[in-house]
Structure 1
Protein backbone atom coordinates (compact mmCIF):
# COMPACT_ATOMS: atom_id res chain seq x y z
CA UNK A 1 0.00 0.00 0.00
CA UNK A 2 1.42 3.40 -1.03
CA UNK A 3 1.61 6.58 0.93
CA UNK A 4 -1.27 9.04 0.90
CA UNK A 5 -0.65 12.08 -1.30
CA UNK A 6 -0.74 15.26 0.78
CA UNK A 7 -1.92 18.68 -0.29
CA UNK A 8 1.02 21.03 -0.75
CA UNK A 9 0.12 24.25 1.04
CA UNK A 10 1.65 26.54 3.65
CA UNK A 11 1.78 25.04 7.16
CA UNK A 12 0.33 27.60 9.58
CA UNK A 13 1.42 25.90 12.81
CA UNK A 14 5.02 27.00 13.41
CA UNK A 15 6.07 23.87 15.31
CA UNK A 16 4.72 21.57 12.59
CA UNK A 17 6.33 23.78 9.92
CA UNK A 18 9.76 23.56 11.60
CA UNK A 19 9.50 19.78 11.99
CA UNK A 20 8.43 19.43 8.35
CA UNK A 21 11.28 21.70 7.24
CA UNK A 22 13.89 19.67 9.12
CA UNK A 23 12.64 16.34 7.78
CA UNK A 24 12.21 17.49 4.19
CA UNK A 25 15.56 19.33 4.17
CA UNK A 26 17.29 16.14 5.27
CA UNK A 27 15.45 14.18 2.57
CA UNK A 28 16.30 16.78 -0.07
CA UNK A 29 19.99 16.75 0.85
CA UNK A 30 20.03 12.94 0.83
CA UNK A 31 18.46 12.90 -2.66
CA UNK A 32 21.02 15.46 -3.87
CA UNK A 33 23.86 13.31 -2.52
CA UNK A 34 22.44 10.17 -4.13
CA UNK A 35 22.00 11.91 -7.50
CA UNK A 36 25.58 13.22 -7.39
CA UNK A 37 27.00 9.76 -6.65
CA UNK A 38 24.75 7.65 -8.90
CA UNK A 39 24.95 9.95 -11.92
CA UNK A 40 28.37 11.53 -11.29
CA UNK A 41 27.05 15.08 -11.47
CA UNK A 42 27.94 18.21 -9.53
CA UNK A 43 25.25 19.62 -7.28
CA UNK A 44 25.04 22.83 -5.28
CA UNK A 45 21.86 23.33 -3.31
CA UNK A 46 21.06 26.49 -1.34
CA UNK A 47 18.08 26.84 1.00
CA UNK A 48 17.19 30.19 2.58
CA UNK A 49 14.54 30.15 5.29
CA UNK A 50 12.02 32.87 6.04
CA UNK A 51 14.25 33.89 8.97
CA UNK A 52 17.20 34.27 6.55
CA UNK A 53 19.08 31.16 7.67
CA UNK A 54 21.17 29.50 4.99
CA UNK A 55 21.52 25.74 4.58
CA UNK A 56 23.63 24.31 1.80
CA UNK A 57 24.67 21.01 0.32
CA UNK A 58 27.35 20.76 -2.33
CA UNK A 59 29.00 17.77 -3.93
CA UNK A 60 31.75 20.22 -4.90
CA UNK A 61 32.45 23.62 -3.40
CA UNK A 62 29.67 26.14 -3.90
CA UNK A 63 32.26 28.51 -5.36
CA UNK A 64 33.16 25.92 -8.02
CA UNK A 65 29.49 25.41 -8.88
CA UNK A 66 28.95 29.19 -9.14
CA UNK A 67 31.93 29.52 -11.49
CA UNK A 68 30.41 26.83 -13.74
CA UNK A 69 27.04 28.59 -13.58
CA UNK A 70 28.58 31.86 -14.77
CA UNK A 71 29.99 30.09 -17.85
CA UNK A 72 26.56 28.87 -18.97
CA UNK A 73 24.37 31.23 -20.98
CA UNK A 74 21.12 29.46 -20.17
CA UNK A 75 19.87 26.42 -18.28
CA UNK A 76 18.85 23.27 -20.13
CA UNK A 77 15.85 23.15 -17.81
CA UNK A 78 14.44 25.72 -15.40
CA UNK A 79 11.34 25.12 -13.30
CA UNK A 80 9.52 27.47 -10.95
CA UNK A 81 6.90 26.82 -8.27
CA UNK A 82 4.10 27.49 -10.76
CA UNK A 83 5.62 24.95 -13.18
CA UNK A 84 5.77 22.34 -10.42
CA UNK A 85 2.17 23.03 -9.38
CA UNK A 86 1.01 22.30 -12.93
CA UNK A 87 3.10 19.12 -13.13
CA UNK A 88 1.88 17.73 -9.80
CA UNK A 89 -1.84 18.13 -10.57
Structure 2
Protein backbone atom coordinates (compact mmCIF):
# COMPACT_ATOMS: atom_id res chain seq x y z
CA UNK A 1 0.00 0.00 0.00
CA UNK A 2 1.24 3.45 -0.87
CA UNK A 3 1.19 6.52 1.26
CA UNK A 4 -1.98 8.51 1.69
CA UNK A 5 -2.04 11.62 -0.49
CA UNK A 6 -2.38 14.87 1.41
CA UNK A 7 -4.17 17.96 0.25
CA UNK A 8 -1.62 20.67 -0.53
CA UNK A 9 -3.12 23.81 0.98
CA UNK A 10 -1.86 26.41 3.40
CA UNK A 11 -1.73 25.13 6.97
CA UNK A 12 -3.90 27.50 8.97
CA UNK A 13 -2.59 26.65 12.46
CA UNK A 14 0.60 28.68 13.03
CA UNK A 15 2.26 26.09 15.25
CA UNK A 16 1.54 23.19 12.88
CA UNK A 17 2.73 25.30 9.93
CA UNK A 18 6.04 26.04 11.70
CA UNK A 19 6.57 22.37 12.61
CA UNK A 20 5.82 21.31 9.03
CA UNK A 21 8.15 23.99 7.66
CA UNK A 22 11.00 22.85 9.89
CA UNK A 23 10.58 19.17 8.98
CA UNK A 24 10.19 19.78 5.25
CA UNK A 25 13.07 22.27 5.18
CA UNK A 26 15.32 19.64 6.73
CA UNK A 27 14.10 17.03 4.24
CA UNK A 28 14.65 19.36 1.29
CA UNK A 29 18.18 20.21 2.43
CA UNK A 30 18.94 16.52 2.93
CA UNK A 31 17.71 15.74 -0.60
CA UNK A 32 19.82 18.59 -2.00
CA UNK A 33 22.90 17.20 -0.23
CA UNK A 34 22.20 13.67 -1.47
CA UNK A 35 21.71 14.87 -5.05
CA UNK A 36 24.98 16.81 -4.95
CA UNK A 37 26.90 13.77 -3.68
CA UNK A 38 25.26 11.14 -5.89
CA UNK A 39 25.38 13.16 -9.10
CA UNK A 40 28.48 15.28 -8.45
CA UNK A 41 26.63 18.53 -9.10
CA UNK A 42 26.62 21.98 -7.57
CA UNK A 43 23.48 22.95 -5.68
CA UNK A 44 22.40 26.18 -4.04
CA UNK A 45 19.17 26.25 -2.08
CA UNK A 46 17.76 29.50 -0.68
CA UNK A 47 14.67 29.59 1.53
CA UNK A 48 12.97 32.53 3.22
CA UNK A 49 10.34 31.66 5.80
CA UNK A 50 7.19 33.67 6.49
CA UNK A 51 9.12 36.05 8.76
CA UNK A 52 11.83 36.54 6.10
CA UNK A 53 14.43 34.50 7.97
CA UNK A 54 17.02 33.13 5.55
CA UNK A 55 17.97 29.45 5.36
CA UNK A 56 20.51 28.29 2.82
CA UNK A 57 22.42 25.25 1.67
CA UNK A 58 25.18 25.08 -0.90
CA UNK A 59 27.13 22.01 -1.92
CA UNK A 60 30.13 24.27 -2.55
CA UNK A 61 30.70 27.96 -1.87
CA UNK A 62 27.34 29.77 -2.11
CA UNK A 63 28.89 32.91 -3.62
CA UNK A 64 30.54 30.90 -6.41
CA UNK A 65 27.31 29.08 -7.25
CA UNK A 66 25.33 32.33 -7.31
CA UNK A 67 27.97 33.99 -9.48
CA UNK A 68 27.81 31.05 -11.90
CA UNK A 69 24.00 31.36 -11.98
CA UNK A 70 24.17 35.11 -12.62
CA UNK A 71 26.70 34.70 -15.42
CA UNK A 72 24.58 31.94 -16.97
CA UNK A 73 21.48 34.15 -16.90
CA UNK A 74 23.42 37.08 -18.37
CA UNK A 75 24.56 34.88 -21.30
CA UNK A 76 21.07 33.47 -21.81
CA UNK A 77 19.59 36.98 -21.84
CA UNK A 78 22.27 38.15 -24.28
CA UNK A 79 21.50 35.31 -26.72
CA UNK A 80 17.77 35.92 -26.36
CA UNK A 81 18.25 39.60 -27.27
CA UNK A 82 20.45 38.68 -30.25
CA UNK A 83 17.94 36.06 -31.45
CA UNK A 84 15.00 38.47 -31.20
CA UNK A 85 16.82 41.30 -32.97
CA UNK A 86 17.19 39.22 -36.17
Q: Which TM-score band applies after superposition, normalised by the shorter structure?
A: 0.7 to 0.9
3-state SS of the aligned residue for 1:72? helix
Q: Deviations over 1:35-80 (max 9, x none)?
A: 0000000000000011010000110111011110122134xxxxxx
2:51 and 2:67 map into 1 onto residues whose CA distance is 27
Question: 5+ unaligned residues in a row in structure 2: which ranges?
Answer: 77-86
Name the structure with the higher helix share: 2
Question: How many correspondences in the alignment?
Answer: 74
Give the equivalent residue in structure 2 for 1:36.
36
TM-score by length of 2: 0.82
Is 1:23 aligned to 2:23, yes or no? yes
3-state SS of the aligned residue for 1:46? strand
Higher-Rg member (1/2): 2
Give the equivalent residue in structure 2 for 1:62.
62
Question: 5+ unaligned residues in a row in structure 1: which ranges?
Answer: 75-89
